[in-house]
A and B are shown apart, each in its own frame.
Chain A
Amino acid sequence: MLALQGDYDAHSRCLKELGAAVRLVRKAEDMEEIAALVLPGGESGTMLGFLQRDNFWEKLRIFAGNKPCFGTCAGAILLAAEVENPVQPCLGTLDIGIRRNAYGRQLQSAIHNADSGVGGAPLELVFIRAPRIIRTGPEVEVLARFDNDPVWVRQGMLMATTFHPELSEDGRVYEEFLRSI
């Protein structure tokens, strides 16, 4: 669990409920003994400040190219191939283009429901100052859409959502991720 800043507590709680062992990652060395990494919601700019020092960035890029990673909101922005509003560095491992704060400020934050690729009841989507996925590459599978925009995507071992499954009671998104480990 990347724990530089953001809602890593909420994520850790959900993962533990499903039986996963959680370790907090605050330095590059902390990644040495983990099987997969979750990148939480929060402020991507703040996280970049930590990642762009002490060789963290290169190690994270290599990790994300070889091991399962799941990014929500700010975490999805870090994994993306292009970021706008404003343009900022990203790992480039997940072939999507993403626009920060694309739906507006906190007053536009909202809870919606949508059908998803995992079937069953509609998935609850909690959006908080959410980004919008504006491009998906040919290798990217879209697992859920809202208003025609992809909100849950997967490419090999990488997964990302623009909503926050960690703020929802529905564990299906995590189950899907844990299956890839």
Chain B
Amino acid sequence: MTQNQSASLRLKTGLAEMLKGGVIMDVTDVRQAEIAERAGAIAVMALERVPAQIRAEGGVARMASPKRIREIMAAVSIPVMAKCRIGHFAEAQILQELGVDYIDESEVLTPADGMHHVDKHAFQVPFVCGARNLGEALRRIAEGAAMIRTKGEAGTGDVIHAVKHLRSIVGDMRMLTVLDEAELYARAKELQAPYELVRSVAQSGKLPVPNFSAGGIATPADAALLRQLGAESVFVGSAIFMNDAMNFAHPDEAERRARAIVRATTHYENPAILLEISEDLVGAMKGLAAAGIAETELLQTRGW
């Protein structure tokens, strides 16, 4: 890595450090972005449709309209992220030119390249990428991702896959710490990840970039569960502003949910506060059990 690349990576992961212990919320317009900021979100993800809508409506999901993203950037003072399709470096170039604070190369959008991800070292703007396991996380970091999030199964309100992915990543990292040198080479081959990154994880027991969680988080208890399992922050997509794939929650209800998840993410180790937060909530997104989704309809299998 050159000196420039390493300074650039420090600034990219530096912003991710600032986002730790908080909630990043999916929003589709200025009104939602303002609710998210008021409720204590540490950043918003500007989207055309939230994952639950994308799942229900079908069609090709692309980068959001730059006009919409620009309106959201003008409306709030917290960082604004936006998604590009997997491998779609031209969408990423447009988002960088627009000046968003983070780009999510996301499986929630329809992939643009079935083999290659974006070369994220080529960008000055930081990237976050999804991963289901340690190998996938390290491949994304090798490509220049400055933050990793679990993929989970977006738009379902079912947390089972986020839990599975986080347990897999954290468990595999823990195992690396007890391997000897010869075993690390073999393990790097199995993980299909660069040896240098595998070795750095073996030494520190953690990823070289912040490790967040996303995909199906719907309640304050879900956020606390993932924080306790090792997620440093959480992304909440459809569960704040949607009641189900077609109907929006009332704005007051959305704000209450948003505040509750923000508090739970900070006080994740305090059951008394978590109880108080959970008692104050009246509803949650209805959701879609991930076990009932056909293999071909899963979003998490996108990415290579």
> In the complex, which residues 77-107 of chain A have their Cβ closer than 8 Å to any Cβ of chain B?
85-86, 100-101, 105-107
Task: Please state if B101 and A106 are interface contacts (CB–CB under 8 Å).
Answer: yes
Interface residues on B, range: 35 or more
CB pair B262 A49 closer than 8 Å: yes
Q: Which of B3-45 contact A (CB under 8 A)?
A: 7, 10-11, 14-15, 17-22, 37, 39-43
Q: Which residues of A contact B96 (CB under 8 A)?
A: 107
User: Does residue B99 face the partner (Cβ distance < 8 Å to A)?
Assistant: yes
**Cross-chain contact A126 with B10 (CB below 8 angstroms):** yes
Q: A43: which B residues are within 8 A, CB to CB?
A: 18-19, 22, 42-43, 78
CA distance A10 to B42 in the complex (A): 17
Alpha-carbon distance between A26 and B101 when the two chains are bound, in angstroms: 27
Say what secondary structure dominates the interface of chain A: loop
Interface residues of B in 77-129 (CB under 8 A from A): 77-79, 96, 99-102, 124-126
Q: How far is the CB of A29 from chain B (nearest CB, A)?
A: 12
**A-contacting residues, B25-70, CB 8 Å:** 37, 39-43
B168 at the interface (CB under 8 A from A): no
B20 and A167 form a contact (CB under 8 A)? no
Answer whether residue A55 sits at the interface, using C-beta atoms and an 8 A cutoff.
no
Query: Chain B: which residue is nearest A108 at the CB level?
Result: B99
Residue of A nearest to B81 (CB): A106
The answer, yes or no, to whether B267 is at the interface (CB within 8 Å) is: yes
- CB atoms of A106 and B126 under 8 A apart: yes
A110 sits at the interface (CB 8 A): yes
B21 touches A6 (CB 8 A): yes
- Cross-chain contact B21 with A111 (CB below 8 angstroms): no
| Inter-chain contact A129/B21, CB cutoff 8 Å | no
B53 → chain A closest CB, angstroms: 27
Type the 1/0 row for A96-130, where 1 means its CB is closer than 8 Å to any CB of B.
Answer: 00001100011101110000000000000010110
In the complex, which residues of chain B have a beta carbon less than 8 angstroms from the beta carbon of A164?
Answer: 14
Given A106-B126, A111-B7, A50 and B266 contact (CB-CB distance below 8 Å): yes
Q: Is the CB of A110 within 8 A of B11?
A: yes
Contact pattern, A 126-168, Cβ under 8 Å of B = 1, otherwise 0: 1011000000000000000000000000000000000010010
Residues in chain B near residue A105, CB distance under 8 A: 73, 79, 99-101
Contact at A4–B18, with CB atoms within 8 Å?
no
Please determine whether A5 and B21 come into contact, CB atoms closer than 8 angstroms.
yes
Q: Mark A23-34, 1 if CB is under 8 A from B, else 0.
A: 000100000000
A74 to B262, CA, bound (A): 18
Whether the pair A42, B21 counts as a contact (CB closer than 8 A) is: yes
Check A106/B125 contact, CB under 8 A, given A26-B267, A100-B77, A111-B10: yes
CB pairs A–B below 8 angstroms (11 shown)? A4-B266, A8-B20, A8-B21, A49-B39, A50-B40, A73-B18, A101-B77, A105-B79, A106-B15, A107-B96, A126-B10
Report A's interface with B, CB cutoff 8 A. 3-10, 26, 41-43, 45-46, 49-50, 73-74, 85-86, 100-101, 105-107, 109-111, 126, 128-129, 164, 167
